[in-house]
Each structure stands twice: as structure tokens, then as C-alpha cells.
């Protein structure tokens, strides 16, 4: 009896592995469909130092599955996002943001560093076909120009679109799309292997224009301010002496 059971289990084991392999391949095929049909578009709204970067993801696959979506923005040091503002907005919108570092809101651009934001949908259930993410972005103060320029430019690159599903483990079959490590969820408790979509065309960066001071005016402005201050102090002292206020 023992040998019969052993023989049955030995026969069923390869069949079970074969079924698991087929299911894994099916999930990888679904993920490949998403990779081939999905796209990202970015636009800029508002003016001045306080802008909004609007990202729209087009998921054109007809197959609904448990594929997860992640947007990775790599921001230059000339801009920043306000963590407190993002926390208040996340309760009103369908996304949550994870920052890779602490953001100092007061630093000027030449003393700040670039940073990364990971944007996760906050809903439960299938991913919408056209999720839209609006991120408020603020310009930092820049050093004054010594060559007479009145504006400086800050380029914002398009975000990376990453996809992931726990059922697909054979990620080497998804080339030319690259496999990258990123936090699994906004809680940042673990890291998963995501597949980054290889865009068919290059995106032109969004360009912010921020005003800067004229460094050549530092000396005359400081000199004029000092002169006016001294004149006001002299006039005030003369008035107080004349009226015996002291």
C-alpha cells in the first residue's frame, strides 16, 4: 500500500508543477499585454512658483487582472513637494505618495538635492483604465544671476511607469522592458521587482521658468538702502533733539 501511494504522488507531482508553470506563463502574458499597450502623458498647469504636474496613465489592455501600477517621478533640486500638503490631499484623491527622503521646504535650489516620489493608487480592486495623478509642485528660490539673466529653467522628466503582479515570476521573458526594484506598497515595508515600461518614443521634458535676481544690482541696492537708512536716522534724531523728546 505504501509503495502504491508513493507511486501515485510521484506521478502527480510533475503534473502539479506543469499546471503551476502554465498559470505563471498566463499571468506573464497578461502582464506583457499591459506593457505593450500602456502609455503615459504629462502636462503642466498653473503659473509662477506653484504649479501642478498632471500625469495620465492609459491602460489599454482588455484583460482585467490584479496588475499593480506604480509611477516613479525623479524630481530635480530646483523644485520640491510639500509632504504636509500631499498628506492632506491623499485623503481626497485616489492615490498616495511615498517620498524617498526628507524634504526641507526652506532650502534654496543650490543647497537642495533631487528626490524621488513613488505614486500608488489608493483604491481597492482592479486598476482603472485611465488613472490620473495631480501633484502640486513648488519652485525653490535660485541664486541670483551674474550675467543679467532674469529667469532660470528647471526641466521635469516624464515619470517611469512600473507594473507588477505577484503571479508572474518569470520576468526575464518580458524583455526589452527592464526589471527594477521598488517598494511594494506606500508603507515601504518590503521591496518588489517591478517591470518598467520601455517607451516607444522619447518624451520632451516639461520646463519650468522661475524668476531670479540680478546679482549686478547687489552693490547699488545695498548702498542705496544704507544711504536711505542713514538719512532717516539723521532726520529722526534731529526731530527728537528739536522737540526735546529725549
C-beta of residue 41 within 8 angstroms of C-beta of residue 56: yes
Query: Are the C-beta atoms of 195 and 181 separated by less than 8 Å?
Result: no
How far is residue 160's CA from residue 117's CA, in Å, rounded to a whole number?
A: 11
Whether the per-residue pLDDT at 140 is higher than 50: the answer is yes
Does residue 133 sit in helix, strand or coil? Answer: strand
The length of the chain is 246
Handedness of CA 183, 186, 190, 194 (dihedral sign): negative
Question: Which residues are CB-neighbours of 152 under 8 A, at least 6 positions away?
Answer: 78, 142, 145, 209, 210, 212
Per-residue confidence at 126, pLDDT binned at 50, 70, 90?
low
pLDDT of residue 13: 44
Cell numbers standing for residue 61: 489592455
pLDDT of amino acid 17: 37
User: What is residue 127's predicted lDDT score, i.e. its pLDDT?
Assistant: 60
> Would you state the pLDDT for residue 76?
93
pTM confidence score: 0.74
Tell which phi-psi region holds residue 244, choosing left (phi > 0), alpha (psi between -120 and 50) or beta: left
Per-residue pLDDT at 233 exceeds 70 = yes
The span from the CA of 26 to the CA of 100, in Å, is: 34
Helix (H) / strand (E) element for 96: namely strand 95-99
- Average pLDDT (106-124) is 86
Amino acid at each position: 500500500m505504501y509503495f502504491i501511494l508513493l507511486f501515485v504522488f510521484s506521478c502527480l507531482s510533475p503534473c502539479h508543477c506543469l499546471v503551476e508553470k502554465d498559470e505563471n506563463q498566463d499571468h506573464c502574458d497578461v502582464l506583457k499585454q499591459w506593457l505593450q499597450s500602456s502609455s503615459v502623458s504629462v502636462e503642466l498647469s498653473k503659473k509662477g512658483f506653484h504649479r501642478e504636474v498632471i500625469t495620465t496613465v492609459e491602460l489599454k489592455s482588455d484583460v482585467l487582472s490584479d496588475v499593480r501600477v506604480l509611477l516613479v517621478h525623479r524630481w530635480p533640486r530646483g523644485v520640491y513637494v510639500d509632504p504636509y500638503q500631499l498628506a492632506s490631499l491623499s485623503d481626497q484623491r485616489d492615490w498616495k505618495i511615498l517620498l524617498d527622503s526628507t524634504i526641507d521646504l526652506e532650502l534654496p535650489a543650490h543647497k537642495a538635492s533631487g528626490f524621488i516620489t513613488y505614486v500608488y493608487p489608493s483604491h481597492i480592486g482592479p486598476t482603472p483604465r485611465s488613472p490620473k495623478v495631480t501633484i502640486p509642485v513648488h519652485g525653490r528660490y535660485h541664486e541670483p544671476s551674474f550675467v543679467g539673466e532674469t529667469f532660470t529653467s528647471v526641466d521635469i522628466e516624464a515619470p517611469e511607469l512600473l507594473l507588477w503582479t505577484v503571479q508572474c515570476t518569470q520576468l526575464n521573458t518580458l524583455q526589452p522592458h527592464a526589471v527594477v526594484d521598488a517598494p511594494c506598497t506606500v508603507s515601504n515595508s518590503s521591496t518588489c521587482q517591478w517591470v518598467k515600461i520601455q517607451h516607444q518614443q522619447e518624451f520632451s521634458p516639461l520646463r519650468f521658468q522661475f524668476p531670479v535676481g540680478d546679482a549686478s544690482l547687489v552693490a547699488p541696492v545695498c548702498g542705496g538702502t544704507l544711504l536711505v537708512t542713514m538719512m532717516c536716522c539723521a532726520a529722526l534724531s534731529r526731530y527728537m533733539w528739536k522737540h526735546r523728546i529725549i
